[in-house]
Amino acid sequence: MTKEKIKDIIREKEVQAVDLKYCGMDGKWYHITIPVRGLKEVIDLGVPFDGSSIPGMKGVESGDMILMPDLETAQIDPFYDNYTMRLICSICDAETRQGVKKDSRSVALRAQEYLLSTGIADKSTWIPELEFYLFDSVKYQSSEYNCGFLVESSEHKEALPEENEDSDGLAQQDRKGYHMDTPFDQYYEIRQEMVDRMENYGIKVRYHHHEVGLASQQEIETELLEFPKICDDVMVMKDIIRRTALSYGLTATFMPKPIYNQAGSGMHFHIMLHKEGENIFYQKGGYADLSELAIWFIGGILFHGRSLVAFTNPSTNSYKRLLPGFEAPVKLFYGLANRSAAIRIPKYANTPETKRFEFRTGDATCNPYLAMSAMLMAGLDGIKNQIDPAKYNLGPYDDNVFEWSEEKKAKLLAIPANLKEAMQSLEEDHQYLLEGNVFNEELIEAYINLKLKEHDAVCNYVHPYEFILYYNL
């Protein structure tokens, strides 16, 4: 978007403020707001800020950084009463005004440059499937003397809010919520409002529906969106979901496993590569009509899968979702229409225009810039080194591996069992991420340290269930 176009929008909408958003290494959005009169200076020079205050970024001895806005991301924020323009920024060096090594958005921009430099493809498109829960309320506390949580949902009879007597009989139990129809799908209209806002933002939605979790688990899936813009779009989608929910007195969570023994929330990624307008993943006659390049790309993701989940599943809670029995893939292999596989080849995507694969392991606690960049780098490494999945027992398998014998399942490569194991895998296997200076040792070291602190904190806290197990021993 040109400066002139932005000026026209500001004049037409009488914009009063500009909200500058940027993503920290932890995957959270941060922001700083300026009066609209200061926008020209920000476009030219950026906004200085203290990078040492953002988790994982820098030490206090070198904290000065600047935010440089991307004019293509300019949009009117739909949630503020006063017209406010939103611009997404990259974190840049105060002297060079180039994206710093540890800025996740700059990682995605470098990944795109690397893709083009390889000559393998000139575009990649992605479909994210965002799963999340909408709760009426959630209360949680964790301190030295008090620890626990309470979740309330008007859709589940066992979790009704105190004031909800379910006099209309809409709350359900003892069933799955997948594609549950209205009026039992109580928040359909709110979900549709979320989708309308995404469409207004330019994010094309393929469909949305109630997911398996009966306590109001939702899914919104987009059409194919282009990398690296898709990374910005995922941040925008999460923001729209959360803020729309709050406007109705609800709360949205992307936690992979917010409720014990209930369906977890993932974020599946569909991936496709293009060159000169052609889908290079399609080749008639191969396994599932996949090209050799596609098989190698899949091989790269699976071969590096144990380190890759450090970015696609970066929370301690991620590994409470990745358990057998909940359609959550815990073994690294691929197969046609196989929902027990880490990579599923959709049977319905069977034309030269639609052939793609779906990486099913990830979840929305990830930093989308880092997660999708890492997946792209792993796949390109697979093509570069012609990694054949079959050579490493990574598939294809078309049967349900959960029904295999324990001995046979043990021969498959498994994802890490917890966040610490994922970080150890990343420490041992990250050379593929360093190609083209996309990732770097400084970022990876800071990221591992950040995530190990989270792991240690969760391990060290006393768990409420431990009182049930051990208090009276």
Q: Flag whether pLDDT at 147 surpasses 70.
A: yes
CATH code of the domain in which 87 resides: 3.10.20.70
Q: Flag whether pLDDT at 130 surpasses 80.
A: yes
What value does the mean pLDDT of the chain take? 94
Q: Are 72 and 128 contained in the same domain?
A: no
Q: Are 196 and 323 contained in the same domain?
A: yes
Options 211, 289, 381, 454, the catalytic residue: 211
Band of pLDDT at residue 21, cut at 50, 70 and 90: very high
Count structural domains, the chain: 2
152 a catalytic residue = no
Q: Are 191 and 269 contained in the same domain?
A: yes
Residues 432-453 have a mean pLDDT of: 97
105 a catalytic residue = no
Q: Are 52 and 127 contained in the same domain?
A: no
pLDDT in tens, 232-248: 999 999 999 999 999 99
Per-residue pLDDT at 60: 47
Residue 110 lies in a domain: no
360 a catalytic residue = yes
Q: Are 185 and 87 contained in the same domain?
A: no
Options 77, 93, 129, 185, the catalytic residue: 129
From residue 227, alpha-carbon distances to 125, 164, 289, 372, 407 in Å are 6, 44, 24, 9, 40
Q: Which domain holds residue 90?
A: 3-100
219 a catalytic residue = yes
pTM of the predicted model, to two decimals? Answer: 0.96
Q: Are 265 and 200 contained in the same domain?
A: yes
Residue 55 lies in a domain: yes
Q: Are 146 and 280 contained in the same domain?
A: yes
Q: Are 172 and 66 contained in the same domain?
A: no
Residue 113 lies in a domain: no
Q: Are 17 and 51 contained in the same domain?
A: yes
Q: Are 93 and 194 contained in the same domain?
A: no
131 a catalytic residue = yes
CATH code of the domain in which 183 resides: 3.30.590.10
Per-residue pLDDT at 326: 61
Q: Are 64 and 146 contained in the same domain?
A: no
Residue 108 lies in a domain: no
Options 97, 179, 339, 463, the catalytic residue: 339
Q: Are 96 and 127 contained in the same domain?
A: no
Structure tokens at 1: 């978007």
Band of pLDDT at residue 61, cut at 50, 70 and 90: very low
Q: Flag whether pLDDT at 62 surpasses 60.
A: no
Final residue belonging to a domain, choices 35, 65, 100: 100
339 a catalytic residue = yes
Residue 183 lies in a domain: yes
344 a catalytic residue = no
Q: Flag whether pLDDT at 117 surpasses 50.
A: yes
Options 155, 185, 219, 233, the catalytic residue: 219
Residue 45 lies in a domain: yes
Band of pLDDT at residue 50, cut at 50, 70 and 90: confident
pLDDT in tens, 251-309: 999 999 999 999 999 999 999 999 999 999 999 999 999 999 999 999 999 999 999 99
Q: Flag whether pLDDT at 342 surpasses 90.
A: yes
Band of pLDDT at residue 96, cut at 50, 70 and 90: confident
